[in-house]
């Protein structure tokens, strides 16, 4: 995460954590009420943002600003995000964006977005579900206010597994920051004295509500140990070369089959703008192509209306897997 130990805690699930963080970091006041997010955010994030706005008695029609890709494009132009932040200016309360968009695999420049948000006085947070364990993050250096992620994508800790929260050290000792409290966020030294009056722990741990599920934590720790052993730098190197190889394989198959089906990779080509995920639109084919890939043993993902997401995870996928994917894709098209 590129964070100090006291900036991170592992607990609850992702949507729960996003809500807990927004209780503290979305504090609309006066005319500063608006939230900027990306269009086509993961539905749970969209529901969370919507409900936070309504919780404060505000309206999504006026207070939720979604940045759309330009006409005819799949990706969001980062200039549009930065320009919108400047335009909304002192009416902007918070920015909350998926660091890597779940649908297109687009990686946003979190440093630039954070700086732009802070320049107009807004708080800035990211959903890192598709970035954690995938991207080399530097949350502390980038100055991000808060972030949350799940442990069950690149971090391999099983669906419903524990989630992570990041709170920047500048908010570590903020007992007056409003938050929803529970006993596990109470100062560890005196927690079991069970005194009335909530006294938060220093740092991200102060946002915990309940004690953590041991089985989920054990699975997560086993996975993180492997990440530690391999190191994010080496994982990142293999991610880039393996994803580039997979891209080559897909483009090759697209070229060979252009009369029947063209495969358009909508994920950015620039390695600095993506992680391991490639999102493919198979023009001239539909869900049947995805179902055939599944039948051949490929674990990919289908997103309506027509996107196949595939992610070679560097820790355990091989170049040969990418090559075999190409063979399966060729068979499926035929």
Ligand X SMILES: Cc1ncc(COP(=O)(O)O)c(C=O)c1O
Question: What is the tally of helices (H) and strands (E) in the chain?
Answer: 10, 11
**For residues 290 and 302, what is the distance between their CA atoms, to the nearest angstrom?**
7
Dihedral pair phi/psi, residue 322, rounded to 5°: -65, -40
Contacting positions for ligand X (CB under 6 A): 13-15, 42, 44-45, 98, 102, 127, 129-130, 150, 163
Smaller CB separation from ligand X, 1 or 322? 1
Please report how close the Cβ of residue 279 comes to ligand X at its closest, in angstroms.
13
**For residues 278 and 76, what is the distance between their CA atoms, to the nearest angstrom?**
16
Smaller CB separation from ligand X, 12 or 34? 12
Q: Smallest Cα–Cα separation from 123: which of 70, 162, 178? A: 178
According to DSSP, residue 64 is labeled: E
Smaller CB separation from ligand X, 160 or 231? 160
Please report how close the Cβ of residue 238 comes to ligand X at its closest, in angstroms.
23
Smaller CB separation from ligand X, 44 or 174? 44
Please report how close the Cβ of residue 83 comes to ligand X at its closest, in angstroms.
24
Smaller CB separation from ligand X, 124 or 333? 124
Dihedral pair phi/psi, residue 276, rounded to 5°: -90, -10
Please report how close the Cβ of residue 88 comes to ligand X at its closest, in angstroms.
23
Please report how close the Cβ of residue 32 comes to ligand X at its closest, in angstroms.
25
Please report how close the Cβ of residue 59 comes to ligand X at its closest, in angstroms.
23
**For residues 68 and 84, what is the distance between their CA atoms, to the nearest angstrom?**
11
Tally of CB atoms within 10 A around 285: 20
Smaller CB separation from ligand X, 13 or 294? 13
Q: Smallest Cα–Cα separation from 263: which of 278, 245, 244? A: 278
Please report how close the Cβ of residue 266 comes to ligand X at its closest, in angstroms.
17
Place of tokens 């493919």: 280
Question: CA 53 → CA 28, 48, 56, distances in Å?
Answer: 9, 9, 5
Angle, helices 319-333/232-256, rounded to nearest 10 degrees: 20
């Amino acid at each position: 995460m590129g964070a100090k130990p006291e900036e991170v805690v592992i607990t609850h699930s992702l949507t729960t954590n996003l809500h807990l963080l927004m209780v503290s970091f979305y504090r609309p006041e006066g005319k500063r009420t608006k939230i900027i997010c990306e269009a086509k955010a993961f539905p749970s994030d969209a529901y969370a943002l919507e409900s936070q706005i309504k919780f404060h008695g505000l309206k999504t029609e006026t207070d939720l600003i979604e940045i759309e890709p330009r006409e005819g494009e799949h990706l969001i132009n980062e200039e549009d995000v930065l320009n919108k932040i400047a335009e909304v200016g002192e009416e902007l309360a918070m920015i909350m964006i998926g660091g890597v968009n779940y649908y297109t695999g687009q990686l946003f420049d979190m440093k630039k977005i954070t700086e732009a948000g802070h320049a107009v006085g807004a708080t800035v947070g990211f959903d890192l579900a598709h970035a954690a364990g995938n991207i080399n993050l530097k949350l502390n250096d980038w100055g991000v206010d808060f972030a949350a992620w799940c442990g069950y994508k690149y971090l391999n800790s099983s669906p419903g597994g524990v989630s992570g929260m990041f709170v920047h050290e500048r908010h570590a000792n903020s007992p007056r920051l409003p938050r929803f409290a529970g006993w596990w966020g109470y100062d560890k030294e005196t927690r079991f004295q069970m005194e009335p009056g909530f006294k938060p722990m220093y740092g991200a741990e102060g946002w915990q509500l309940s004690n953590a599920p041991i089985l989920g934590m054990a699975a997560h720790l086993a996975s993180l140990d492997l990440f530690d052993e391999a190191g994010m730098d080496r994982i990142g190197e293999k991610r880039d070369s393996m994803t580039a190889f997979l891209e080559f394989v897909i483009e090759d198959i697209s070229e060979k089959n252009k009369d029947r089906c063209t495969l358009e990779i909508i994920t950015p080509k620039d390695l600095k703008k993506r992680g391991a995920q490639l999102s493919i639109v198979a023009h001239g084919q539909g869900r049947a192509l995805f179902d055939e890939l599944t039948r051949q043993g490929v674990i990919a993902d289908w997103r309506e209306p027509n996107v196949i997401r595939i992610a070679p995870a560097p820790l355990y996928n091989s170049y040969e897997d990418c090559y075999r994917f190409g063979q399966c894709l060729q068979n499926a098209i035929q």
